[in-house]
Amino acid sequence: MRILVTGGAGYIGSHACQRLLRDGYHIVALDNLHRGHREPMEILKGAHPESFEFVHADLGDQSQVLQVLDEHELDTVMHFGALAYVGESVEDPLWYYQNNIAQAIGLLQACDQSRGGKGIERFIFSSSCATYGDPPDDMIPVPEHCPQNPTSPYGYTKLHMEHILKDYANSRAMKNNPIALTMLRYFNVAGSDRTGMLGEDHEPETHLIPVAINAALGKRESMSIFGTDYPTPDGTNIRDYVHVEDLVSAHVLAMNSTKQGEVEAFNVGIGKGYSVREILDAVKRVSGVDFTIHDAPRRAGDAIALYNDPTKIKAKLGWDAKITDIDEVVKDAFDWIKAHPNGYAS
């Protein structure tokens, strides 16, 4: 397989490129570097000069994407490129819909026209547990058949994309030219590559674990817990934190398991929930620093509790999280951020 990785310069996309390159695949990473970084692309090119290319482009630039797909004879797309902040999506929904949906349709049109009009063979989509919104009590842990009712524009962009992709897959099947479509609904992704080459560097950084690590390292004076009055045991939100290397493994399994004509959705999360306070305790343990935490109001768009029921992905893909100790996840993130106090150089 020869794979286009959109958002390849981002946190998850770059880790996916690294794993796929190690597995021997030919990879073209595409990124507009709006939030992605050039340095990980240079690191990967240095390590895999023959099998890796980076293209600086918008994923919605249909003609350029088509050219890249054809020039490199790509047959598979892993689509990571998207804006991914719940709070930001509430503040600027049109930007999220434009970027995550309108741009993605440009990508899909290029995918459809590639290979002389035959189209790509497989598509792996980064969806999200945010598509579930606040699941009913009897659906936590969350199975894939849980009703999808997002609580944020971000969640809606992912849900709408699932529908668009299913419609596209259906049209391909009707033309006797089936595509393999897998939608992976991520829970919260954390940690970093264990060789220390790649890490998590967002600007702005709003994710809980890196924000807390920045507080522990003195890069910020304090941090806030967004909401301490939720109906959970300690009043804070509960999430499922999956290590980025385990998440990437799910992509490799999905890519190799889903057959032409199949449309599959899998949740990717370890199956255990941690409250915000439990995560902050882990960051304090790992860093050895008792940083300052303030209680703050709820953040718009946040669901109360989300953690995965991994039954389906275990049964169908044989996937299981290998790194389930939250201190190990936090330590990988901590080590990279500590070693890269200013993030990537470019």
Q: How far is the CB of 83 from ligand UDP (least distance, A)?
A: 12
- Interface residue with ligand UDP, options 38, 299, 312, 340 (CB under 6 A): 299
User: Among residues 3, 28, 69, 86, which is the contact residue for ligand UDP, using CB under 6 A?
Assistant: 86
Inter-CA distances, 42 with 46, 81, 345, Å: 6, 18, 11
Alpha-carbon span 180 to 170, nearest angstrom: 11
**In the range 232-271, which residues lie near ligand UDP by CB under 6 A?**
237, 239
Binding mask 276-295 for ligand UDP (x = CB under 6 A): x-------------------
Token readout for 163 is 């529908």
Spot the catalytic one: 96, 154, 230, 241.
Answer: 154
Select 41 or 242, whichever has its Cβ closest to ligand UDP.
Answer: 242
Residue 154 appears among annotated catalytic residues:
yes
Number of H helices, E strands in the chain: 12, 13
DSSP secondary structure code for residue 308 in this structure: B
- Does residue 224 interact with ligand UDP by CB under 6 A? yes
Interaction between residue 223 and ligand UDP (CB under 6 A): yes
Q: Which is nearer to ligand UDP, 83 or 180 (CB)?
A: 83
Token pair of 308, please? Answer: 């995965």
Identity of the residue, 172 or 207, whose beta carbon is nearer to ligand UDP in the bound complex: 207
Closest CB 276 distance from ligand UDP, rounded Å: 5
Applying CB under 6 A, which part among 155-163, 202-210, 261-269, 322-330 lies near ligand UDP?
202-210
Question: Is 37 one of the binding residues for ligand UDP (CB under 6 A)?
Answer: no
Query: What is the separation of C-alpha 92 from the centre of its chain, rounded to a whole number of angstroms?
Result: 20
Residue 184, strand partner residues: 126, 266
Pick out residues in 45-84 that bind ligand UDP (CB under 6 A).
Answer: none
Q: Which is nearer to ligand UDP, 21 or 86 (CB)?
A: 86
Q: Which residue of 58, 162, 302, 332 would you call a contact of ligand UDP, by CB under 6 A?
A: 302
What b-and-e string marks burial along 99-115, b requiring 16 or more CB atoms within 10 Å of the CB?
bbbebbebbbbbbbbbe
Choices 20-28, 49-57, 200-208, 243-251; region in contact with ligand UDP by CB under 6 A: 200-208
Question: Segment 203-222, which members bind ligand UDP (CB under 6 A)?
Answer: 206-208, 211
Tell the smallest beta-carbon distance from residue 261 to ligand UDP (Å).
Answer: 32
Give the tokens for residue 231. Answer: 């109906």
Do residues 195 and 276 make contact, with C-beta atoms less than 8 angstroms apart? no
Does residue 172 interact with ligand UDP by CB under 6 A?
no
CA distance 180 to 253: 13
Collapsing DSSP states into helix, strand and coil, what is residue 109?
Answer: helix
Q: Residue 127: phi, psi to the nearest 5? A: -95, -165
DSSP letter for each residue of 111-165 = HHHTGGGT--SEEEEEEEGGGG-S--GGG-SBPTTS----SSHHHHHHHHHHHHH
Q: What does the binding site for ligand UDP look like in residue numbers (CB under 6 A)?
A: 86, 188, 206-208, 211, 223-226, 237, 239, 276, 299, 302
Please list the active-site residues. 154
